[in-house]
Amino acid sequence: MVDYEKSLFWSEDGEKVYGLASQFKDKEDFAIHVKNNYEDGQCIVRNIKKEPCLYSEEGIQADTIIPFSLLDIVIDNYYTATVLPIEEEACTCNENECCPECDPDEN
């Protein structure tokens, strides 16, 4: 069953996922929703953080100065996480906090 009130935003390579924090009860609820929406449901969700992020439908060009009033930017708290297929998992670390040897985000 798909929960339409909980939206996820995936990076182009599918290795990062973002979700508006106010749509989830907690980190665990976010992780469950990510797994339920992953291709085959078999993935590791780690490095879950709740942090302020910028969202824009149109994007922002590099090296440009534009007043906020002219942009469609929304600043809000999002859950962010790294997602790995189960078969790539070679470490016995905790799913939410992995060691630098196996997690490229920690290096």
Q: What is the pLDDT of residues 63-81, one digit of tens each?
A: 989 888 888 888 999 999 9
Per-domain boundaries in the chain: 8-106
Measure the N-to-C terminal CA separation of the chain; round to a whole number of Å: 37
Q: What confidence score (pLDDT) does residue 84 get? A: 92
Q: Starting at the earlier edge strand, list the strands of the sheet with 8-10.
A: 8-10, 16-20, 74-85, 43-55
Highest mean pLDDT among 39-53, 57-71, 77-91: 39-53
Provide the residue type at 44 as one letter: I
Provide the residue type at 36 as one letter: N
Q: Residue 39 in 3-state DSSP?
A: coil
Tokens of 98: 């992995």
Q: How many CB atoms lie within 10 A of CB 9?
A: 13
pTM score, two decimals?
A: 0.72
